[in-house]
Amino acid sequence: MKTSGAHSDRSASELISKRIAELGDWRGETLGRMRQLIKAADPDVVEEWKWVKPKSPGTPVWSHDGIICTGESYKNAVKLTFAKGAFLKDPARLFNSSLDGNVRRAIDIHKGEAVDASAFKALVRQAVALNGSGKSKP
């Protein structure tokens, strides 16, 4: 697993696991569950830790031939941002945030909310296929 940033002595997977444990509440459980779904949808996914800055410890990133999505946690939500989400079919309407952008789309998950696992895994598989096609658009 790759890391990007100041924490090169630890693997990205370790840093993501540490972040999930540090959250220690519904956000950690949610991020952990979504991580499992990403890995189930794409067993070849690469976990990365990017964008480490003085005031930011970094961000979990899942990639396969390019970024699939990032996983951020906020006080009231866990946000999964798909790098090319605007080009993915979302019949289950999981995307509920960043809908005005030309490229990205996000799923904000709030306390007590459940995400349709099969629909989420379908989005991940589409993102992998789009990345693998070498095109920015389907």
For residue 133 the two structure tokens come to: 């096609």
Which helix (H) or strand (E) element contains residue 12?
helix 12-23
Q: Is residue 6 very low, low, confident or very high in pLDDT (cuts 50, 70, 90)?
A: very low
Q: Is the pLDDT of residue 4 over 80?
A: no
**pLDDT digits over 39-70, tens only?**
999 999 999 999 888 887 889 999 999 999 99
Cα 106 from Cα 97, distance rounded (Å): 5
User: What CA–CA distances, in Å, run from 77 to 2, 98, 111?
Assistant: 26, 14, 7
Measured between alpha carbons, how far is 121 from 132 in angstroms, rounded to an integer? 16
pLDDT digits (tens, 9 = 90+) for 12-22: 999 999 999 99
DSSP state of 111: T
Query: Length of the chain, please?
Result: 138
Which two tokens mark 10? 């630890």
β-bridge partners, 72? 79
pLDDT score recorded for residue 5: 41
101 vs 59: CA distance, rounded Å = 20
